[in-house]
Structure 1
Amino acid sequence: MNSEAYSAELAAAMEAGFRKNPNTGEHCHSLADAYMASMVDTALPKDIEEREEYDRLVAWSLEKRNVSPGEVVRTFNYIRVKAVRVAMKVTQRRGEVRQHEQFY
C-alpha cells in the first residue's frame, strides 16, 4: 500500500470515529498518531505548522500534573482530543475527508 492510500485509510477511520462520537472521536488517538506520522513523506508547508502544534499538544498531554487520578485521565483525553482535531483539520485540507464536516 502506498503512503497516500495509507494516509487516506487512516483519515477515513478517524472520520468514522467522529461520526460515532462527534465530541471526542471514538478511538482516534492512535489513528491520529499514525496519520500524522504518515505525513512525513508528503508534508506540505502548512502541514508542518500543524504537525508542530500536534506534537506540542501530545507532549502537553503527557506532562505530569498534581491532580486526582480521575482528573489525570480527563485532562489527558481533553488534550488528546484537541490534538486529534488538529489531525482532522489536516485531513480536511488534504481532501481525505468530507469538507462540510466540522471536526475542529
Structure 2
Amino acid sequence: MNPDAYSAELAAAMEAGYIKNPNTGEHCHSLADAYMASLAGSSRPEDMEGRREYDGLVAWSLEKSNASPGEVVMTFNYIRVKAVRVAMKVAQRRGEVRRNEFH
C-alpha cells in the first residue's frame, strides 16, 4: 500500500469514529496518532505545522500537572480530543476526509 493510500485509509477510519461521537472522537486517539505518524515524511508546510500542533497537544496531555486528582482521565481525554480535531483538520486540508467542520 502506498503512503498516500495508507494515510487516506487511516483518515477515513478516524473520520468514521469522529462522526460516531464528535464529543469524544470515539476510538480516534490511536488512529490520529497513526495518521499523523504516517505524514512524517511529508514536505507540505501545512502538514508540518499540523504535526507540530498535534505533537504539542499530545505532549500536554501527558504532563502530570494538567489535572487535579480525580480529573486526570477527563483532562487527558479533553486534550486528546483537541489533538484529534487537529489531525482531522490536516486530513481535511489534504482532501482525505469529507466533512468540513474541523476548522
| TM tier relative to shorter chain | over 0.9
- Distance in 1, matches of 2:89 and 2:44, equals 13
- Distance in 1, matches of 2:20 and 2:87, equals 17
- Counterpart residue number, 2:60: 60
- Distance in 2, matches of 1:43 and 1:83, equals 21
Q: Secondary structure at the match of 2:39?
A: helix
- Counterpart residue number, 2:35: 35
- Distance in 2, matches of 1:79 and 1:22, equals 14
Q: Which amino acid aligns with 2:100?
A: E
**How many residues are treated as equivalent by the alignment?**
102
TM-score normalised to structure 2 length: 0.92
- Distance in 1, matches of 2:3 and 2:78, equals 29
- Counterpart residue number, 1:17: 17
Moved over 2 A (4+): none
- Distance in 2, matches of 1:16 and 1:43, equals 27
Give the Å deviation of 1:85: 0.4
Give the Å deviation of 1:41: 1.9
- Distance in 2, matches of 1:103 and 1:23, equals 12
Extract unaligned runs of 5+ from structure 2: none
- Distance in 1, matches of 2:59 and 2:14, equals 20
Q: How does 1:1-104 map to 2 (within 5 A)?
A: 1-65=1-65, 67-69=68-70, 71-98=71-98, 100-104=99-103
TM-score normalised to structure 1 length: 0.91
Contact 1:28 1:84 in 2 (8 A): yes
Contact 1:18 1:103 in 2 (8 A): no
- Distance in 2, matches of 1:68 and 1:43, equals 41
Extract unaligned runs of 5+ from structure 1: none
Task: Give percent identity, aligned residues only.
Answer: 75
Segment of structure 1 superposing worse, 36-45 or 51-60: 36-45
